[in-house]
Chains A and B, each alone.
Chain A
Amino acid sequence: MRKLSILLVGLMLIAGLSVGVIAADSDSHSADANITINSIALLQVNHSSVNLGTLEPGDYTIDDGWQIDSLESEGHTVKAFANFDYAITVEGEDTGSKSLSNTDDFKMKGADLSYSSVIGSSQELVSKDGGTNATWDDIGYKYIPNVNDEPGNYKVTVTYTLSSQ
């Protein structure tokens, strides 16, 4: 008898639960969406060639040596953007048919860099937070004359590199 009572109570509970199903007045459904953001880095060097000028015989005197401190070209522009923290470095290479007698005499400046030798030595122009679009228009190049340089044309190739920090 006791078992029967338990069974009946159980049936009643099941019945109660089963009739508790009600109609829904709303429905929902989910969908996933994904975005991939690649690393984006753009570097614009707005000058492909810079002429520092020509050393003339009059630029040198027997008594006082070179009458000019340097051959310079300044006010050149570099622009950059990256969506990550980045640094821009420069490094020069003596690529002319004649080699400079002292590569340290070729120097560069701009952004956070004051005039520094760059041939064979990478120098950091600037470092920036990601997302910053920046322009530097104070890029300068100069060459300090050296009496050991032979007559001729000299060329230095400067490579700008933007890399993550």
Chain B
Amino acid sequence: MKKLKPTTVILVTLFSCILLSIPAPETVGSNDPSITEVTPIELGTITSNYYHMSDNSFDRLYSSDGKLKLSYNTEALLKVNLSSADPGVDLNDLEISLLPVEDNNWKSFGDGTEIQLKTFTNTDQTWDFVEYQLRYLPDGNDRPGNYSFSLNFELIQVGLVIRIIGGKPGPGKKVNLKVSDNSGPVGNASVRVNDEVVGTTNPGGILNNLTFPEDEEKVTIAATHDSREATRVFNFEEDDEEDDEGEEEED
């Protein structure tokens, strides 16, 4: 067998040390908010039937219903903005609402800022369908033509989330976890395993060497910071992990 040169050994050792010193990647789990599906909508055509000469008014044009499929299991905020608005149409007259429409749910794109549509707090589910609708109130200054808009929906995590950043969950296994919110790591978060406090996250939001109980089929990890709380449930009886706050497949 060929003997390695000392410099090769040094380089390999150096490489290994560097690899080991780099923190493990955060698990991109299903508790990351995501928009998995957006159905397009059609606003249609404004014809002369929309105009009433008697009082010089127009009827509103309502779009077909659009649908968003969202995935979240921490408190999440759904926002929307118009990323490419056509200057030929007055955006004050273009409004959006989630369905079902309730009083005063319509929000105008007029000021050009992002519209906050809804904060999802029902974190015991991991996905949701949300329907939305646009409406447009024509006015006499609208000129004939085709006008396009691009709606940009964004789902943002606003609550706490627990991510496993090292190790593999399992009975008796040790993991490193990280607690964060949309601003970044959350330090000083109290972490409990099956309602027993096991530690507090460091300023980087990390708690290392959290040990899963040996004989529990179902383990709930909870992190609390101020009034906010995130939980994740691991079920080791079956292959699937049921996660009240962050559903994720678990072998």
Is residue B234 contacting chain A, with contact meaning CB distance below 8 A?
A: no
Whether the pair A36, B45 counts as a contact (CB closer than 8 A) is yes
Give 1 or 0 for each of B110-141: 1 = CB within 8 Å of chain A CB. 00000000000000000000000010101111
CA distance A81 to B248 in the complex (A): 60
Residue of A nearest to B64 (CB): A33
Query: Is B18 engaged at the interface, CB distance under 8 Å to the other chain?
Result: yes
B40 in contact with A35 (CB, 8 Å): no
Interface residues on A, range: 35 or more
Mark A105-132 against chain B: 1 for CB-CB distance below 8 A, else 0. Answer: 0000000000000000000000000111
The answer to whether B45 and A38 have CB atoms under 8 Å apart is yes
Do the beta carbons of B46 and A35 come within 8 Å of each other? Answer: yes
Chain A residue contacts of B163, Cβ below 8 A: 23
Query: Which chain B residues lie closer than 8 Å to A35 at the CB level?
Result: 43-46, 61, 89, 136, 146-147, 149
Most B CB contacts (10 A, CB to CB) among A4, A23, A42, A131 go to A23
| B89 to chain A: closest residue by CB | A35
Closest A residue by C-beta to B56: A133
Pick from A12, A25, A37, A133: contact of B45, CB under 8 Å:
A37
The stretch from A13-21, A51-59, A94-102, A144-152 touching chain B is A13-21
B97 within 8 A of A: no
Q: Are B38 and A30 in contact (CB under 8 A)?
A: yes
Contacts of B238 in A (CB 8 A): none
Is B145 in contact with chain A by the CB < 8 A criterion?
Answer: yes
> A83 at the A/B interface (Cβ < 8 Å)?
yes
Q: Judge whether B2 is part of the interface by a CB distance below 8 angstroms.
A: no
Instruction: Decide: B144 and A26 in contact? CB cutoff 8 A.
Output: no
Q: Which residue of B lies closest to A80 (CB)?
A: B53
Asked whether any CB of chain A lies closer than 8 Å to the CB of B104, the reply is: no
Closest to A131 in B: B140
Contact A34 B46 (CB under 8 A): no
Q: A4-B8, A29-B153, A37-B145 are known contacts. Are A22 and B26 too (CB-CB below 8 A)?
A: yes
Contact B15 A30 (CB under 8 A): no
What does the 1/0 interface line of A30-65 toward B look like (CB < 8 Å)? 111111111111101000000000000000000000
| Contacts from A to B (Cβ < 8 Å) | 1, 4-5, 8, 11-12, 15-16, 18-42, 44, 79, 81, 83-84, 130-133
Closest 8 CB pairs of A and B: A131-B140, A29-B35, A27-B34, A36-B45, A28-B154, A26-B156, A23-B26, A133-B56
17 other A-B residue contacts (CB within 8 Å) besides A28-B155, A33-B41, A33-B63: A4-B11, A23-B29, A25-B156, A26-B157, A27-B33, A27-B35, A27-B155, A29-B37, A29-B153, A30-B152, A31-B39, A33-B148, A34-B147, A35-B43, A36-B45, A84-B144, A130-B141
